[in-house]
């Protein structure tokens, strides 16, 4: 059983390939890549004419929340993976802030077992850095890593006590585990609900100041330097945070950064008349900051783009802005959000795809995220120009709290393959 897909525009950020050609898939893996080939591979038992569509590695998403276990009314692993493959995401890392918290081996195994029977995409568990995410006692980092947890995080609430974080990072480093932290100073963030500034003041909403991110980032970066632990700064939102990262890297720290796709698309004014779908943390910043972050992404100063998928049902969002939950559904719009930056000019297709594929894969050591011989055949066929209207009623996530609701987008996934199997087509 072999499949040759030909007449495809092969896009592989890892190798820099951008050329029409063919790929051959056997036994769930890519076994031949032939840029420049005009037809299918000889001897393939099946062939597929891609009709000139783009063929790229499936997206690797390092930050996805579901509600399984505990909040299945928000999202299950099955519904999240259904939304993921529709958005071109073939590997996703699910956060540990579930009920119960994923803070021991049994729960890591539960996630991978449930994913095997119910999910179409590859699902990796992130383990809790502290038991119950309480920020007090270190969780079983080594045992969870052995069971398959790919990184460790305290979720949305940073550990308050730096001595506990330092010990957890020291220990994680000795086990070769990666720590991901959301840089925030809890006290400075306070009761803030959107970007601090004139617009928040005029709307009578309390602001989240950028200093909260800077102070949180500075602390985490210095602890990464001191402990030698590999650190992922989760969803950075300002250029100054990247300056802090560059400084730490120059001092030898092993640090990566991610940014949420929606932060590259929206600014604070999109909150408009209290639209709770635009309530996220970190908040949508001012337009100058958004543009600076796009420039930083182009310059390679941001390593990965995440969906920050955070499903919230209507009862969490149909509330006054200050009372609504943070979080936006994002799995189905990440690629389109990045393609908008290609259409608007700043990014090339390969620059848009690299932080969605090979770079996040390399950060946590996954074999996926590239088109190369011997790697799992996880890839997407997409039309970068296809216009579509994002309507929440048509999203596949169980919760459809998307800030893109009602937006016209350009570029969409048409087919998704995981392990050589077609798992989605539209």
Nearer to another protein, 323 or 421 (CB): 323
Please tell me what DSSP assigns to residue 40.
P
Distance CA 363, CA 360 (A): 5
With CB under 8 A as the contact rule, the residue among 142, 170, 199, 343 that binds another protein is: 199
Nearer to another protein, 318 or 394 (CB): 318
Cβ pair 324, 304 in contact under 8 A: no
Kindly state the smallest distance separating residue 99's Cβ from another protein, in Å. Answer: 20
Kindly state the smallest distance separating residue 212's Cβ from another protein, in Å. Answer: 16
Distance CA 171, CA 144 (A): 13
Strands 29-35 and 17-26: antiparallel
Task: Give the 3-state secondary structure of 367-415.
Answer: CCCCCCCCCECCEEEEEEEEEEECCHHHCCCCCCCCCCCCCEEEEEEEE
| Residue 321: count of CB within 10 angstroms of its CB | 18
Cβ pair 168, 138 in contact under 8 A: yes
Kindly state the smallest distance separating residue 408's Cβ from another protein, in Å. Answer: 22
Taking each helix axis from N to C terminus, what angle separates 77-86 and 105-118, rounded to the nearest 10 degrees? 60
Tokens representing 423? 């798992």
With CB under 8 A as the contact rule, the residue among 1, 106, 137, 198 that binds another protein is: 198
Strands 179-181 and 194-195: unpaired
Nearer to another protein, 198 or 295 (CB): 198
With CB under 8 A as the contact rule, the residue among 95, 205, 244, 297 that binds another protein is: 205
Nearer to another protein, 199 or 388 (CB): 199
Distance CA 118, CA 116 (A): 6
Pick the stretch among 195-203, 238-246, 326-334, 391-399 that binds another protein (CB under 8 A): 195-203
With CB under 8 A as the contact rule, the residue among 36, 204, 345, 374 that binds another protein is: 204
The count of chain residues that interact with another protein, using the rule CB under 8 A, is 18
Distance CA 326, CA 105 (A): 29
Pick the stretch among 89-97, 182-190, 197-205, 360-368 that binds another protein (CB under 8 A): 197-205
Kindly state the smallest distance separating residue 207's Cβ from another protein, in Å. Answer: 9
Nearer to another protein, 42 or 202 (CB): 202
Residue window 137-156: x/- pattern of binding to another protein, with contact defined by CB under 8 A: --------------------
With CB under 8 A as the contact rule, the residue among 201, 226, 269, 299 that binds another protein is: 201
Helix (H, G, I), strand (E, B) or coil at 365: coil
Distance CA 193, CA 206 (A): 6
- Site for another protein, residues 246 to 285, rule: CB under 8 A: 273-274
Residue 203 binding another protein, by CB under 8 A: yes
The alpha carbon of 260 is separated from its chain's Cα centroid by a whole number of angstroms, namely 7
Residue window 48-67: x/- pattern of binding to another protein, with contact defined by CB under 8 A: --------------------
Kindly state the smallest distance separating residue 271's Cβ from another protein, in Å. Answer: 10
DSSP sequence for 254-275: -EEEEEEGGGGT--GGGGTTT-
- Site for another protein, residues 312 to 351, rule: CB under 8 A: 315, 318-323
Nearer to another protein, 175 or 203 (CB): 203
Kindly state the smallest distance separating residue 333's Cβ from another protein, in Å. Answer: 23
Contact positions vs another protein (CB under 8 A) = 196-199, 201-205, 273-274, 315, 318-323
């Amino acid at each position: 059983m072999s499949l040759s897909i030909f007449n495809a525009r092969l896009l592989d950020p890892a190798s820099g390939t951008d050329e029409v050609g063919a790929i051959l898939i056997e036994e769930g893996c890519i076994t031949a890549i032939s840029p420049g080939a005009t037809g299918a591979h000889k001897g393939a038992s099946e062939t597929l004419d891609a009709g000139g569509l783009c063929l790229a590695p499936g997206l690797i998403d390092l930050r996805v929340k579901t509600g399984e276990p505990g909040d299945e009314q928000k999202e299950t692993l099955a519904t999240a993976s259904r939304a993921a493959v529709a958005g071109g995401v073939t590997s996703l890392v699910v956060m540990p802030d579930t009920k119960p918290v994923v803070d021991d081996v049994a729960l890591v195994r539960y996630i991978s077992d449930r994913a095997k029977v119910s999910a179409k995409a590859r699902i990796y568990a992130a383990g809790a850095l502290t038991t119950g995410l309480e920020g007090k006692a270190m969780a079983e980092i080594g045992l969870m890593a052995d069971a398959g947890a790919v990184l460790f995080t305290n979720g949305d609430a940073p550990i308050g006590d730096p001595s506990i974080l330092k010990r957890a990072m020291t220990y994680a480093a000795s086990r070769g585990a990666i720590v991901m932290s959301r840089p925030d100073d809890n006290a400075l963030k306070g009761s803030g609900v959107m970007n601090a500034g004139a617009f928040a003041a005029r709307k009578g909403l309390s602001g989240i100041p950028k200093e909260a991110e800077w102070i949180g980032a500075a602390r985490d970066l210095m602890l990464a330097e001191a402990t030698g632990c590999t650190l992922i700064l989760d969803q950075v939102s300002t250029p100054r945070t990247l300056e802090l990262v560059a400084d730490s890297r120059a001092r030898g720290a092993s640090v990566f950064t991610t940014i949420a796709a929606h932060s590259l698309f929206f600014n604070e004014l999109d909150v408009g008349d209290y639209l709770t779908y635009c309530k996220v943390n970190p908040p949508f910043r001012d337009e100058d900051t958004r543009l600076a972050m796009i420039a930083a992404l182009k310059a390679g100063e941001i390593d990965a783009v995440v969906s920050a998928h955070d499903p919230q049902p209507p009862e969490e969002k149909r509330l006054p802005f200050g009372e609504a939950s943070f979080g936006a559904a994002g799995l189905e719009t990440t690629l389109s959000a990045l393609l908008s930056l290609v259409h608007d000019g700043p990014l090339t297709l390969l620059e848009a795809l690299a932080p969605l594929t090979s770079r996040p894969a390399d950060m946590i050591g996954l074999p996926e995220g590239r088109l190369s011989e011997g790697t799992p055949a996880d890839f997407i066929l997409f039309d970068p120009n296809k216009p579509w209207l994002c309507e929440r009623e048509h999203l596949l996530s169980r919760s459809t709290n998307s800030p893109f609701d009602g937006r016209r987008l350009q570029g969409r996934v048409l087919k998704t393959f995981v392990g050589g199997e077609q798992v989605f087509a539209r």
